[in-house]
């Protein structure tokens, strides 16, 4: 158990998403946390966010990495909350986001590249999230 004298600092979050019927794994990295505002919307800024996709751990030819652009780092993470909040995480206001148990992959212009050619919703099979914290003593 942590004592009151120790401070926990959220450091980063990495997400991996597997969708039904796809051989790809999608994901994203954010050094800033996804907040849960009472109501409303806002963008969170970071120049270090990126999204990615890959087929498997052997095929490096089809891996894609898309960093938030330097011009739009203020729009790295989009946060939205309402009474019937059905959104999960949202990189760039539409580049990689979840809604109603579906993954959407689009092109808002805030990240360098599109991860997939179409913008169809994909039924999420599994999401794994890893966060790293730093505990000060």
Only one residue has tokens 């599109």, namely 114
- Ranked by mean pLDDT, the top range of 3-7, 12-16, 34-38, 75-79 is 12-16
Tell which residue, 132, 104, 108, has the closest CA to residue 19: 104
Instruction: With cut-offs at 50, 70 and 90, classify the pLDDT of residue 118.
Output: confident
The pTM for the full model equals 0.79
- Is residue 3 assigned to a domain? no
Percent residues over pLDDT 70 in the chain: 77
**pLDDT on residue 126:** 93
Please report whether residue 2 resides in a domain: no
Longest dimension (CA), the chain: 50
| Predicted local distance difference test score (pLDDT) of residue 134 | 64
Express each pLDDT in 88-104 by its tens digit.
788 888 899 888 889 99
E runs forming strands in the chain: 7-19, 25-30, 40-44, 50-54, 64-67, 77-81, 87-91, 96-99, 102-105, 122-136
DSSP code of 124? E
Asked if pLDDT for residue 135 goes beyond 90, the answer is no
- Residue 62 is predicted with a pLDDT of 79
Report residue 35: phi and psi, to 5°: -85, 165
**Spatial separation of the C-alpha atoms in residues 114 and 118, rounded to whole Å:** 9
HSE-up of residue 60 (Cα within 13 Å, Cβ side)? 0
Between CA 31 and CA 10, with CA 100 as vertex, the angle to 5 degrees is 20
**Which of 1 and 122 is assigned the larger pLDDT?**
122
Per the domain annotation, does 4 fall within a domain? no
Q: What are phi and psi of 73, to 5 degrees?
A: -65, -20
Query: Phi and psi dihedrals of 71, rounded to 5?
Result: -70, -30
- Give the count of domains, the chain: 1
Give the confidence band of 36 by pLDDT, cuts at 50, 70, 90.
low
> Do the domain assignments include residue 45?
yes
pLDDT score at 87: 73
In percent, how much of the chain has pLDDT > 90?
23
Domain of 15 in residue numbering reads as 10-132
């Amino acid at each position: 158990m942590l004592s009151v004298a120790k401070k926990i600092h959220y450091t980063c979050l990495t997400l991996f998403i597997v969708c039904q019927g796809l051989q790809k794994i999608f994901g994203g990295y954010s050094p800033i946390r996804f907040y849960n505002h009472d109501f409303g919307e806002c963008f969170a800024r970071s120049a270090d966010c990126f999204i990615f996709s890959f087929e498997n751990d052997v095929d490096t030819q089809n891996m894609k990495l898309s960093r938030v652009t330097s011009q739009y780092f203020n729009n790295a993470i989009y946060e939205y909350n309402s009474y019937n909040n059905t959104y999960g995480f949202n990189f760039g206001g539409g580049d990689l986001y979840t809604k109603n148990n579906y993954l959407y992959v689009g092109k808002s212009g805030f990240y360098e590249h599109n991860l997939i050619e179409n913008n169809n919703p994909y039924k999420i099979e599994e999401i794994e999230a890893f966060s790293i914290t730093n505990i000060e003593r």
